[in-house]
Amino acid sequence: MNAVITGATKGIGKAVAMALAKQGYNLAICSRNQNELNLFKQELETYHIKVVAVQADCAQKADVINFLENIESKFKQVDILVNNAGIFLPHNLIDEDDENFEIQQQINVNAAYYLAKRLGKMMCERQSGHIFNICSVVSKSPVKGAGSYSVTKAALLSLNNVLRDELAQHNIKVTAILPGSTLTASWEGTTISPEKFVQPQDIAQLITCVLSLSKGVNVDEIMLTPLNF
């Protein structure tokens, strides 16, 4: 079994990679930081799995395509895709520089589109697979100070729903996960107690749970929010 995870060396991506490695999945992972990628690859290989680790900036289409080509050359099939890579640049949409929107669009939406489209075709050939898109609660309800982020995460949820409709006939499952405030690098320096947040491990555990369900059921979307933030 083979799984692909973007943004895999930190936060949610790292937690998901660890959870799947423990279940015996071979992994293809990417990150912008080569040193972090090398160290994490070594850690994952202690679970006696195959790890394809590729440095990639998901804001760059060429990097995403290179990652895909590495996956296709190393894996004959892909069972799971986790579109996790994302960036949050807080600002009011009306006042921000255009680049704020553009980079969030490229990472939060475009990269997921390229990966799901190409790996989705591989899954169609086998009539099997599962795509997870890490969206956000703002996919449904925008928040102040996160204008472009809210727009791009709403677009990712829309992409998720289109993929689910198109791929269901090929027995491919597509699930959107919509976390609220999650303890990732985006909250670095906060004075809020870590216990107040959704934990990356919660999302990883959720994904493994969804994967254990029966063949005929699709989990369309799941929202997780802090109990008392």
In this structure, is residue 125 part of a structural domain?
A: yes
Per residue in 159-181, pLDDT (tens digit) is 999 999 999 999 999 999 999 76
225/196 Cα distance (integer angstroms): 10
CATH of the domain at 74: 3.40.50.720
Q: Cite the beta strand spans of 168-210 per DSSP E.
A: 172-179
106/48 Cα distance (integer angstroms): 34
Domain enclosing residue 32, as ranges: 2-224
In this structure, is residue 157 part of a structural domain?
A: yes
Per residue in 150-160, pLDDT (tens digit) is 999 999 999 99
Q: Percent helix, strand, coil in the chain (nearest 5)?
A: 50, 20, 30
In this structure, is residue 115 part of a structural domain?
A: yes
In this structure, is residue 65 part of a structural domain?
A: yes
Q: Are 28 and 70 in contact (CB under 8 A)?
A: yes
In this structure, is residue 229 part of a structural domain?
A: no
pLDDT at 190 over 70: no
Polymer length of the chain:
229
In this structure, is residue 163 part of a structural domain?
A: yes
13/44 Cα distance (integer angstroms): 13
Counting the structural domains of the chain, the total is: 1
pLDDT at 188: 63
Phi, psi of 93 (to 5 degrees): -55, -40
- The pLDDT > 70 percentage for the chain reads 93
**Span of 121-125, 144-148, 181-185 with lowest mean pLDDT:** 181-185
58/142 Cα distance (integer angstroms): 23
Place of tokens 């589109």: 113
